[in-house]
A = this chain, B = another copy of it.
Amino acid sequence: MGKIKIITIGREYASGGRAVGKLISEKLGIPFYNKEILHMAAENLNMSAEDVKYADETAANSLLYSMSLMSNLSMGTTLPINDRIYIEEREVIKKLAQQGPCVIVGRCADSILRDIRDDVLNVFIYADSESRAKRAVEEYGESPESVYQSLRKHDKKRSTYYNLNTGQKWGAKDNYDLCLNSAKIGIEMCADSIIHMASNM
């Protein structure tokens, strides 16, 4: 790799952004982080994976659940649990970036590293709804009847998570260095192009 050491990937649901990240990580032989970050944060907070997963999935949706978790864990803070998790994830991401080249998918990594590092390439992967619905049905086994609802639900969750935590707009191209339509460009070509750019900047 050249000047760029860290590649962050934001992505619409079922656009194949995770697959693009995985490919880059394999081709470059560097670590890949996605859900792992949530698990590391949970460990640091002494929370069970179950609780973290539920808090993560209900973030900004269930104030009551957050409050109950907060009191159950007696964390000695008035911050809602999802904010506590986000703050811990932010520290995990900063630490991982310090450890060396890697690919980070999701978790607002672009925004978290923006002002503290200059060796980051921020990518967003998107695709038209039809292609994503096809992928969600074929690759994730979703039901064709509810797949468009599922796309909307997952994208809504991601945008809410990103917008609330960063104060910026999820998927707005100004937050990224490049945005690629995976349905047109293809997963493999997306990965190769990102590697080409990251290696020659």
Contacts and interface: CB of A to CB of B under 8 A. Distances in A.
B186 A177 contact: no
7 contacts: A173-B173, A177-B184, A177-B185, A178-B178, A189-B200, A193-B193, A193-B196
A64 interface: no
A171 interface: yes
Given A193-B193, A196-B193, A197-B193, A181 B185 contact: no
On chain A, which size bracket covers the interface?
20 to 34
Please state the number of chain copies in the assembly.
2
List the 7 shortest-distance A-B pairs measured between CB atoms, nearest first: A179-B179, A177-B184, A177-B181, A173-B179, A178-B180, A173-B173, A193-B193
Contact of A173 (B126, B186, B189, B200): B126
A126 B174 contact: yes
B189 A201 contact: yes
A119 B180 CA distance: 17
A200 B180 CA distance: 15
B178 A185 contact: yes
Contacts of A126: 173-174
Contacts of A189: 197, 200-201
A3 to B, nearest CB: 11
A128 interface: yes
A86 interface: no
Given A177-B184, A178-B178, 17 more contacts: A126-B173, A126-B174, A173-B173, A173-B179, A176-B179, A176-B181, A177-B180, A177-B181, A178-B180, A178-B181, A178-B185, A184-B201, A185-B197, A185-B201, A189-B201, A193-B196, A196-B196
